[in-house]
Amino acid sequence: MKFFEIKNIQKVILTSSLGLFLLPLISCEEEAVQNLPTRNWELVWSDEFEGNAGTLPDASKWTYDIGTGTNGWGNQELEYYTKRTDNVKLDGTGNLVITAKKENYSGSAFTSARIKTQGLFSQTYGKIEARIKTPYGPGIWPAFWMLGDDIGTVGWPQSGEIDIMELKGNIPNVVYGTLHGPGYSGGAAKTKSYGLQNSRFDQDFHVFGIEWKENQIDFFVDGFLYQRVTPKDVTGEWVYNNPFFLILNVAVGGNFVGFPTDGTSFPQNMYIDYVRVYKAK
């Protein structure tokens, strides 16, 4: 469903418990300008996920998508999203845990959670980041992303979508940053990947973020700028000058990642240490 583009591809063979992969990594030429201007940010919203183990996240900050959506949330996903602590809870050590499980529930073979700030908090421009340790395995699809507040009136993709981090669980050392908008959605989205050469995103926490202003969105992993998108880079309307809300979820199956296999172990957990939103001073 979503593809990436990398110029002058460097390839490296990586081994892991999931097998042998030949993966593309960004080249030296693609290491976009890292001498960034000094930015002064003011924190305007955050969740550090402090609280008692086994409790749901702060209800003043997060709400939920429930069920299977239409056509598997438009992606042929297999899970049923719930708000049970079986699928989403604080771990008592400062993390939120979203858990995908293999179980029969309301006609679905899997359960998980998808939490969002819709109706509670949204932001136009600024710095948005989260510190996350991802799950892994064939058919596992973790994501940290945003949708335009006006999705209920204008629909998707006119509302715009900013995928700050997505990962295909069978390729656990590569993440994707993507924009979907009118004329460049689905397989035609504006997207790029970022790869780790000697590690995987399920082995430790990493910080995924964007810096967003009127005519530019920069994508970062651990402070490294790997993609910059401006209005001239998309093939349709630039729809990123309105408020967007935040979403965290772990999907099972779907067009982007394919289906789980016998090699996919369950449960799978995504750990989120924090989500922070800043505005420019």
pLDDT score of 34: 77
Question: Per the domain annotation, does 4 fall within a domain?
Answer: no
CB atoms within 10 A of CB 271: 19
From residue 96, give the alpha-carbon distance in Å to each of 124, 171, 182, 199, 245. Answer: 25, 23, 33, 23, 18
Secondary structure of residue 186 in the 3-state scheme: helix
Which pTM does this prediction carry?
A: 0.89
Question: Per the domain annotation, does 30 fall within a domain?
Answer: no
Minimal CA–CA distance to 49: which of 248, 239, 265? 248
Report phi then psi at 205, rounded to 5.
-80, 145
Instruction: Identify the domain containing residue 257 by its residue range.
Output: 46-280
Residues in the chain: 281
List the chain pLDDT tens, one digit each, 281 residues.
Answer: 332 333 333 333 333 444 434 444 444 445 556 778 888 999 999 999 999 999 999 999 999 999 999 999 999 999 999 999 999 999 999 999 999 999 999 999 999 999 999 999 999 999 999 999 999 999 999 999 999 999 999 999 999 999 999 999 999 999 999 999 999 999 999 999 999 999 999 999 999 999 999 999 999 999 999 999 999 999 999 999 999 999 999 999 999 999 999 999 999 999 999 999 999 99
CATH code at position 85: 2.60.120.200
Query: What total number of domains does the chain contain?
Result: 1
From residue 78, give the alpha-carbon distance in Å to each of 3, 32, 103, 259. Answer: 21, 37, 11, 8
Question: Per the domain annotation, does 34 fall within a domain?
Answer: no
130 near 209, Cβ under 8 Å?
Answer: yes
Q: Please give the radius of gyration of the chain, using alpha carbons only, rounded to the nearest integer.
A: 18
Report phi then psi at 72, rounded to 5.
60, 50
Question: Per the domain annotation, does 58 fall within a domain?
Answer: yes
164 near 144, Cβ under 8 Å?
Answer: yes
Question: Per the domain annotation, does 36 fall within a domain?
Answer: no
Question: Per the domain annotation, does 203 fall within a domain?
Answer: yes
Task: Catalogue the active-site residues.
Answer: 161, 166
Question: Per the domain annotation, does 262 fall within a domain?
Answer: yes
Question: Per the domain annotation, does 209 fall within a domain?
Answer: yes
